[in-house]
Amino acid sequence: MTYNLELHESAEEELWETVDYYDARKDRLGKEFARELQRVMQLIRSQPHLFPKVSGEKRKAVLKRFPYLIIFEIVENTVFVLAIFHEKRNPKVWADR
């Protein structure tokens, strides 16, 4: 089963801010980040229960190449991405989403 995937408005903002940040550091690095993120999100869509719970029903996926986490929740047949953020940031950023 492949799950639907929806991004919280704040997660989408975090995504584009991070792409812009990496592009400013090195040409095409933002595109590489987006590609890695897409790879992990595809895995989340196909097998979301593989990822560990971090708070209640919220789960996390870790990107391999970049120090970023994807925080998501599964509700029926939809994966809701609540946050895309640097692993050093305070988790309270996404706790209320």
- Kindly report the CATH number assigned to the domain that includes residue 44: 3.30.2310.20
Assign residue 28 a region (left: φ > 0; alpha: ψ between -120 and 50; beta: otherwise).
left
pLDDT at residue 28 tops 90: yes
- In sequence order, what are the beta bridge partners of 4? 78
Query: Radius of gyration (Cα) for the chain, nearest Å?
Result: 13
Instruction: Answer whether 3's CB lies under 8 Å from 79's CB.
Output: yes
Indicate if the pLDDT at residue 19 is higher than 90. Answer: yes
Which pLDDT tens digit goes with each residue over 55-95?
A: 899 999 999 999 999 999 999 999 999 999 998 877 777 77
Token pair, residue 18, equals 């991070």
**Cα separation of the two ends of the chain:** 26
pLDDT digits (tens, 9 = 90+) for 38-51: 999 999 999 999 99
Sequence-distant (6+) residues with CB within 8 A of 91 are 54, 55
Q: How far apart are CA 28 and CA 11, in angstroms?
A: 21
Residue 13 structural domain: 4-95
| pTM for this prediction | 0.91
Q: What was the pLDDT predicted at 54?
A: 93
How many domains, in total, are found in the chain? 1
